[in-house]
Amino acid sequence: MSEPKHAVGIDLGTTHCAVASVEIAKSDRDTLALSGLGIPQVVAPGEVETRPLLPSFLYLPHPSELPPAALTLPWPGHPTDLVVGEAARALGTKVGLRLVSSAKSWLCQGSIDRRAPLLPLHTAEDVQKLSPLAATVEYLNHMRNAWDHAHPDAPLSQQLLSIGVPASFDPAARELTAEAARLAGLDQAVLIEEPQAALYSWLGVSAASWREQVKVGDVILVVDVGGGTSDFSLINVRERDGDLELERIAVGEHILLGGDNMDLALAFFLKGELEANGQKLDNAQLATLTQAARAAKERLLNLPDEQAAPVVLPGRGSKLVGGALKTELKRSDLERVLLEGFFPIVDAAARPASRPRGALTQLGLPYAQDPAITRHLAAFLGRQAGALGDSQQSFVRPTAVLFNGGVFKSELLRERIRGVLDAWLAGAGAEPVRVLPGADLEAAVARGAAYYGWVRSGNGIRIRGGTAMAYYVGIESAMPAVPGLPPQLTALCIAPFGMEEGTSAAMPPAEFGLVVGEPVRFHFFGSSTRREDAAGTVLEHWSDSELTELQDIEVTLAADQQRPGDVVSVQLQAAVTEVGTLQLAAVNIASGLRWKVELDTRDSATG
Amino acid sequence: MPMQEPGFFTRFMLAFALFFRVLFDATFAGRALALRAGSDSEVDHDVPQPAPVPPPAPPQLHEAPAEAALQLLGLLQREGRLMDFLQEDMSAYTDAQVGAAARVVHDQCKRALDSHLSLERIRNEEEGTRVSVPKGFSPSEIRLLGNVSGEPPFNGALTHAGWRVARIELPKLSDGHDVHIIAPAEVEL
């Protein structure tokens, strides 16, 4: 591999992807040669355009659906049986059963086999389905080709590369993202948490002045609401050897809730309005309603003096005026649906409610049951009350906030979050938060990821942090079973909180007798709050809020080195790779043999 | 063996030299006259013909290529349903109905235009203000209206600030793509 010329960042978003890069030779402490990559893509059959974003949609056309060469791209070897990007999104609005969307949300669903072809979920028999993993590989392949086309002398496989993942992605989803990169020929890729990338982007934009904008003791809350997920992180500003140091101290739970849900909620509201007026929507108009709702929302958010925005659904067929349906979105309704639905004013002790799923659920993805982002935020800050080592407080108190995600282009929503935070802080006798200025809401993840690559090569300041969870395996107790009760489970810590990339945990002394040739499953838990447990700590009791059960892990002792049926004694050891993924191994001390423990297993009960 | 045809520059120099020779050398002029008289019937086409008098230039008009125009129409139809709007019989509808639909067409066509071309004004002054048009102004950029007489600089009121496309970037087309199809017929199965 020749010397990398660029540090490249990829934002692999739920609804959009983006690529940015730092040109290493032209960057130093004071100037950062940071630029976004235009991504050529089919925008309509037979038409190719270069755009800053690649919509994360994939369309599987019927063999006779499109004219020949309609999917031609500027580079050789492009797929002819599928298309990604704008054309996929547009074709999919009319033929939904051939559209793959939200692959990223499926990538973190432990309840499904993410390597199995299951997308599109509801489709026709003759559609060749794809796995969430394969769809992710297609997006990465497209971006790799776009990069190589623009930089024939510096192929992406030879550059420094960082790919953003939600901070709340579990170890299996991280591993699958890394695997997708390997399958796209990008073996060198490392992962970066998206809220951290947003902060890196802010550091890059602020250059040297960031040191004046924060001070020792600051706790920066990153609120990242993307198209499909909401992600929170806390970053603490500390002093070390006379210089400022940034440490990511906590990340939130995975919340499958984003800007798309907001547009969908508005669309459902408007559908009700139209039907109340006796106007009937056909399927195509329903599809354009979300788009019209989004346009009306943006209009009202951008024009604070207007009290209503017209919503017109043009008629189908070529009768545009004749078949048009018309209503309007009133500001009071927008505020009710958006602000009160997703950003209600709640107090710091509020917690998300679990209730029957409403209109937000679409096609089987387990969207967050409570759409109120402010309640999720309150729960996050409450759960992390001890993150700074002070257990007297009922919630951790941020001193600064950094917004990320296109949703926050609206000042109304930024102000709502800030107002809610300030009310909580005032109630606890603390100062209001400062909003860190200059955030680049839509491009920050790709740019910050690129900047992170440059930082990793020895420039600028690095955010410390390591893993944001401690990990445990469940062990069934050897006590005699009590009739009617499940066997008592204890949790053995195998990976402590805050493991840095490229390190291994100490091996807990507990030994397991595993039968060669038979797959063995372990219950697997994560905790975002138990910061002190060392590898080997055994928990007898814990509360539901302390430990979250993750997908089971599985190991099979291959029969090639041992006789099937033999019992081999192993210990479990955890490591965090340079890529940023968790790796578990079963080790037999006597022989030195190691077996990989699979994080991504299918739940045999439901799968 | 066919005679080699000289290039443009050579022909230009030759015509230049022959012009003076014909003008000042009567004998040469006589030979040239004979050659010219016989050229249509006797002279082989491969023989270069001296052109002592340049023929009057033909009118300079050319066909504008239709491909980009059709592509732009297709784009405005796809994004903003412009063709449907223009082709629909408006007489059957009320102003409110037309207005509602026009909003959609306007909104989306503008968005489509903005993302494919950069428009700028030719004059940055407010319409209605007095402006001065200097000597040597470009008549394709500025049209004079009303009492057009006298010599520049002209002083007058700016009635329209003009539009100029500073940049246009249309999608690239794949080979075999038929731009005449502005909107395909749709059949729902």
| pLDDT (tens digit per residue) in A314-350 | 877 788 888 788 888 999 999 889 899 999 999 999 9
* B40 and B95, same domain (yes or no): no
Please classify residue A604 by burial: count the beta carbons closer than 10 Å to its beta carbon, then call 0-12 exposed, 13-18 middle and 19+ buried: exposed
From the CA atom positions of chain B, what is the Rg in Å?
Answer: 29
CB–CB contacts below 8 A, A to B: 82
Question: What phi, psi does A548 have (nearest 5°)?
Answer: -105, 130
Please report whether residue B145 resides in a domain: no
* B115 and B51, same domain (yes or no): no
How far apart CA B129 and CA B124 sit, in angstroms, is 11
Residue B90 to residue A324, Cβ atoms within 8 A: no
Residue B103 to residue A312, Cβ atoms within 8 A: yes
* B89 and B158, same domain (yes or no): yes
Measure in Å the smallest separation between the Cα of B166 and chain A Cα atoms.
18
Residue A314 to residue B93, Cβ atoms within 8 A: no
From the CA atom positions of chain A, what is the Rg in Å?
Answer: 25
Options 3.90.1510.10, 3.90.226.10, 2.40.10.120, 3.30.420.40; CATH of A211-257+351-448: 3.30.420.40
A48, A68, A74 ranked by CB distance to B176: nearest: A68
Q: Do domains A211-257+351-448 and A259-342 have the same CATH topology?
A: no
Q: CB–CB of A575/A505 below 8 Å? A: yes
Helices (H), A95-217: 103-107, 132-150, 171-183, 194-206, 210-213
pLDDT digits (tens, 9 = 90+) for B73-120: 999 999 999 999 999 999 989 998 898 889 889 988 999 999 999 999
The range of the structural domain enclosing residue B93 comes to 66-136+153-168
- Give the residue carrying structure tokens 């022989």: A591
Residue B173 to residue A320, Cβ atoms within 8 A: no
How far apart CA A540 and CA A491 sit, in angstroms, is 7
Options 3.40.190.10, 1.10.3720.10, 3.30.420.40, 3.40.50.1980; CATH of A6-192: 3.30.420.40
Domain boundary assignment for chain A: 6-192, 211-257+351-448, 259-342, 470-598
Residue B176 to residue A44, Cβ atoms within 8 A: no
Helices A194-206 and A444-456: crossing angle in degrees, nearest 10, is 80
Give the residue-averaged pLDDT of A282-311. 81
* B87 and B46, same domain (yes or no): no
Please report whether residue B183 resides in a domain: no
Contacts of A61 in chain B (CB under 8 A): none
How far apart CA B99 and CA A161 sit, in angstroms, is 51
Residue B88 to residue A47, Cβ atoms within 8 A: no
How far apart CA B15 and CA B18 sit, in angstroms, is 5
Please report whether residue B185 resides in a domain: no
Q: How far is CA A451 from the centre of its chain?
A: 19
How many domains does chain B divide into? 2
CA angle A369–A370–A376, rounded 5-degree value = 120
Q: Which of A320, A328, A329 to mutate to test the interface with B (most CBs of B within 10 A)?
A: A320
* Chain B residue whose CA is closest to A68: B176
How far apart CA A239 and CA A216 sit, in angstroms, is 6
Whether residue A277 is predicted with pLDDT greater than 90 in this model: the reply is no
Q: Which amino acid is at A166?
A: P
Q: CB–CB of B162/B121 below 8 Å? A: yes
Q: Which of A361, A342, A269, A340 has the alpha carbon at shortest distance from A311? A: A269
* B108 and B70, same domain (yes or no): yes
How far apart CA A551 and CA A602 sit, in angstroms, is 8
Q: CB–CB of A371/A360 below 8 Å? A: yes
* B79 and B23, same domain (yes or no): no
Give the residue-averaged pLDDT of B169-174. 94
Q: Which of A39, A123, A318, A319 to mutate to test the interface with B (most CBs of B within 10 A)?
A: A318
How far apart CA A229 and CA A227 sit, in angstroms, is 6
Sorted by sequence, the CB contacts under 8 Å of residue A127 that are 6+ apart come out as A60, A97, A98, A120
Q: Which of A321, A326, A328 to mutate to test the interface with B (most CBs of B within 10 A)?
A: A321
Q: Report the percent of chain A where pLDDT is more than 90.
A: 47
* Chain A residue whose CA is closest to B172: A48
* B52 and B76, same domain (yes or no): no
pTM: 0.84
Please report whether residue B184 resides in a domain: no
* Chain B residue whose CA is closest to A49: B171
Q: In this complex, is the C-beta atom of A97 within 8 Å of any C-beta atom belonging to chain B?
A: no
Please report whether residue B129 resides in a domain: yes
Whether residue A294 is predicted with pLDDT greater than 90 in this model: the reply is no
* B71 and B129, same domain (yes or no): yes
Whether residue A181 is predicted with pLDDT greater than 50 in this model: the reply is yes
How far apart CA B49 and CA B38 sit, in angstroms, is 11
Please report whether residue B19 resides in a domain: yes
Q: CB–CB of B36/B141 below 8 Å? A: no
Q: Which of B78, B108, B174 to mutate to test the interface with A (most CBs of A within 10 A)?
A: B174
- Give the residue carrying structure tokens 């500003």: A237
Contacts of B101 in chain A (CB under 8 A): 312, 314, 320-321, 324
Q: What is the ipTM of this complex?
A: 0.76
Helices A132-150 and A171-183: crossing angle in degrees, nearest 10, is 50
Instruction: Give per-residue burial for A540-557: e unless 16+ CB within 10 Å, then b.
Output: eeeeeeebeebbbbbbbb
- Could you say which residues from 254 to 313 on chain A have a Cβ atom under 8 Å away from some Cβ of chain B? 295, 310, 312
Give the residue-averaged pLDDT of A461-476. 88
Whether residue A245 is predicted with pLDDT greater than 80 in this model: the reply is yes
Q: CB–CB of A198/A445 below 8 Å? A: yes
Please report whether residue B182 resides in a domain: no
- Beta strand A16-23 with A34-36: parallel, antiparallel or unpaired? antiparallel
Specify the long-range contacts of residues A71-74, CB closer than 8 Å, at least 24 apart. A71/A42, A71/A45, A71/B174, A72/A42, A72/A46, A72/A48, A72/B174, A72/B175, A73/A40, A73/A41, A73/A42, A73/A48, A73/A145, A74/A40, A74/A48, A74/A149, A74/B172
* B132 and B75, same domain (yes or no): yes
Please classify residue B2 by burial: count the beta carbons closer than 10 Å to its beta carbon, then call 0-12 exposed, 13-18 middle and 19+ buried: exposed
Torsion, CA A85, CA A89, CA A90, CA A95, rounded to 10: 130
* B51 and B70, same domain (yes or no): no
Contacts of A46 in chain B (CB under 8 A): 173-174, 176-178
pLDDT digits (tens, 9 = 90+) for A570-599: 889 999 998 889 999 999 888 888 888 988
Please report whether residue B141 resides in a domain: no
Q: Which of A180, A188, A254, A252 has the alpha carbon at shortest distance from A600? A: A180
* B46 and B127, same domain (yes or no): no
Structure-block tokens of residue A95? 């033929």
Q: Of A80-89, A215-224, A330-339, A474-483, where does mean pLDDT reach its minimum?
A: A474-483
Q: What is the CATH number of domain A259-342?
A: 3.90.640.10
**Which stretch of DSSP H or E encloses residue A297?**
helix A283-302
Q: Which amino acid is at A188?
A: Q
Q: How far is CA A252 from the centre of its chain?
A: 11
Maximum CA extent, chain A: 81
* Chain B residue whose CA is closest to A326: B100
pLDDT for the residue numbered A605: 40
Measure in Å the smallest separation between the Cα of B168 and chain A Cα atoms.
12
Per this entry, what is the length of chain A? 607
- What is the side-by-side strand order in the sheet with A538-539? A538-539, A489-495, A470-476, A520-527, A548-555
> If DSSP states are collapsed to H, E and C, what string results for A438-479?
CCCCCCHHHHHHHHHHHHHCCCCCCEECCCCCEEEEEEECCC
pLDDT digits (tens, 9 = 90+) for A107-132: 888 777 888 898 898 888 899 999 99
Chain B residues interacting with chain A (CB cutoff of 8 angstroms): 71, 74, 78, 81, 84-85, 87-88, 90, 92-93, 97-98, 100-101, 103-105, 107, 169, 171-178, 183, 186
Q: CB–CB of A316/A349 below 8 Å? A: no
Q: CB–CB of A355/A369 below 8 Å? A: yes
pLDDT digits (tens, 9 = 90+) for A5-57: 999 999 999 999 999 999 999 988 778 899 999 999 999 999 999 999 999 99
